[in-house]
């Protein structure tokens, strides 16, 4: 069953679409596999009632389960495929974006896994390797993924990249990075970018950069809460587990 999503406050309260945290039917233990079919090797199991996040979906082997017969397979945050016939999503058919695609997509934070996600770590490595963004050198820009904190960070799918808006050179680099992430959000699976007291959300892409409510979201109007000392970049689950077009084959 789909769960209620938390709203990120951006001047107005908004409720993102696409709540894909679901559970396997109680009484069943289901394998998650390397591919969309029972012939693929199991990677582990999901037990009845266990909550999982659907990152994306594909068509594969037709399977009959407690929710009928379907060829939809859900790629979950544990990095494996589960037949949708065993997962209650609250609606027929696929609920996630197509795996390997570049559709803008927003996933709420509901699991608080406290584990870094592979796509988020790879995203940081790309930024570190790009001198256009890594103007300080080495790991000096890496503020952290902060998987011990709540929200997007707590699911391991958000990173903070140090950048000082009070320094003219870094102010512009910060905007270059923020605009690059916005322009390529679909392929990287980016869902939120915050910099210099502005926020962009993949759930409302056409609104562009909106004023960020640092009091409502962070509790004060200091430099860090206003995101004037770092760029915040978060990914949807597809991006976080390397299932968007940029990560294909990586």
Give residue-wise pLDDT tens across range 79-115.
Answer: 999 999 998 888 777 888 999 999 999 999 888 899 9
Do 66 and 161 share a domain, yes or no? Answer: no
User: Tens digits of per-residue pLDDT, 49-83?
Assistant: 888 999 999 999 999 999 899 999 999 999 999 99
Do 183 and 242 share a domain, yes or no? Answer: yes
**What single-letter DSSP state applies at residue 220?**
S
- 10 pLDDT above the threshold of 70: no
Give residue 21's pLDDT band: very low, low, confident or very high (50, 70, 90): confident
Do 50 and 162 share a domain, yes or no? Answer: no
5 belongs to a structural domain:
no
- 182 pLDDT above the threshold of 60: yes
End-to-end CA separation in angstroms for the chain: 32
Predicted local distance difference test score (pLDDT) of residue 3: 23
Do 155 and 216 share a domain, yes or no? Answer: yes
112 belongs to a structural domain:
no
Do 66 and 152 share a domain, yes or no? Answer: no
Average of per-residue pLDDT values in the chain: 88
113 belongs to a structural domain:
no
Do 155 and 223 share a domain, yes or no? Answer: yes
101 belongs to a structural domain:
no
User: Tens digits of per-residue pLDDT, 195-249?
Assistant: 999 999 999 999 999 999 999 888 888 999 999 999 999 999 999 999 999 998 7
180 belongs to a structural domain:
yes
183 phi and psi angles, rounded to 5 deg: -65, -30
The domain boundary, picked from 71, 88, 105, lies at 88
163 belongs to a structural domain:
yes
Predicted local distance difference test score (pLDDT) of residue 7: 34
Range of lowest pLDDT (12-16, 180-184, 217-221, 234-238): 12-16
> pTM value?
0.89
Predicted local distance difference test score (pLDDT) of residue 145: 93
Do 212 and 128 share a domain, yes or no? Answer: yes
Predicted local distance difference test score (pLDDT) of residue 53: 92
Residues 6+ apart with CB under 8 A from 246: 102, 184, 187, 188, 189, 239
Stretch 145-163: mean pLDDT = 92
Query: Pick from 97, 203, 106: which is nearest to 152 by CA?
Result: 106
Stretch 182-197: mean pLDDT = 98
- 27 pLDDT above the threshold of 50: yes
7 belongs to a structural domain:
no
- Domain limits at 153? 118-247
Full 3-state SS string of 13-55: EECCCCCCEEEECCCCEEEEECCCCCCCCEEEEEECCCEEEEE
94 belongs to a structural domain:
no
Q: Which residues pair with 10 in a beta bridge?
A: 12
Predicted local distance difference test score (pLDDT) of residue 34: 98
Do 218 and 149 share a domain, yes or no? Answer: yes
- 11 pLDDT above the threshold of 80: no
Do 83 and 129 share a domain, yes or no? Answer: no
Give residue 189's pLDDT band: very low, low, confident or very high (50, 70, 90): very high
Residue 166 exposure: Cα atoms within 13 Å on the Cβ side? 5
Please tell me the total count of domains within the chain: 2
Give residue 9's pLDDT band: very low, low, confident or very high (50, 70, 90): very low
Note whether 238 and 99 are within 8 A (CB): yes
Q: The CATH number of the domain where 76 resides is what?
A: 2.30.30
Predicted local distance difference test score (pLDDT) of residue 4: 24
Predicted local distance difference test score (pLDDT) of residue 12: 28
The domain boundary, picked from 41, 68, 88, lies at 88
Do 216 and 175 share a domain, yes or no? Answer: yes
Q: Pairing mode, if any, of strands 230-235 and 190-195? A: antiparallel
């Amino acid at each position: 069953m789909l769960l209620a999503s938390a709203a990120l406050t951006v001047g107005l309260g908004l409720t993102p679409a696409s709540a894909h945290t679901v559970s396997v039917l109680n009484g069943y233990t289901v394998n998650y596999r390397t591919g969309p079919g029972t012939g693929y090797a199991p990677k582990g199991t999901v037990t009845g009632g266990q909550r999982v996040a659907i990152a994306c979906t594909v068509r594969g082997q037709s399977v009959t389960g407690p929710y009928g017969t379907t060829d939809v397979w859900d790629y979950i945050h544990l990095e494996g495929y589960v037949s949708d016939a065993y997962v209650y999503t609250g609606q027929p058919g696929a609920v996630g974006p197509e795996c390997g695609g570049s559709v803008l997509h927003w996933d709420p934070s509901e699991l608080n896994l406290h584990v870094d996600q592979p796509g988020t770590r790879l995203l940081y490595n790309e930024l570190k390797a790009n001198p256009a963004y890594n103007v300080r050198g080495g790991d000096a820009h890496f503020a952290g993924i902060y998987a011990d904190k709540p929200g997007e960070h707590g699911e391991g799918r958000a990173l903070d990249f140090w950048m000082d808006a009070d320094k003219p050179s870094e102010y512009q680099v910060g905007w270059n990075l923020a605009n690059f992430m916005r322009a390529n959000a679909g392929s990287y699976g980016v869902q939120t970018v915050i910099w210099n007291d502005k926020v962009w959300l993949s759930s409302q892409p056409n609104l562009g950069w909106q004023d960020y409510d640092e009091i409502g979201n962070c509790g004060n109007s200091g430099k860090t809460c206003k995101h004037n000392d770092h760029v915040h970049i978060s990914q949807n689950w597809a991006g976080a587990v390397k299932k968007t077009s940029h990560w294909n084959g990586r």
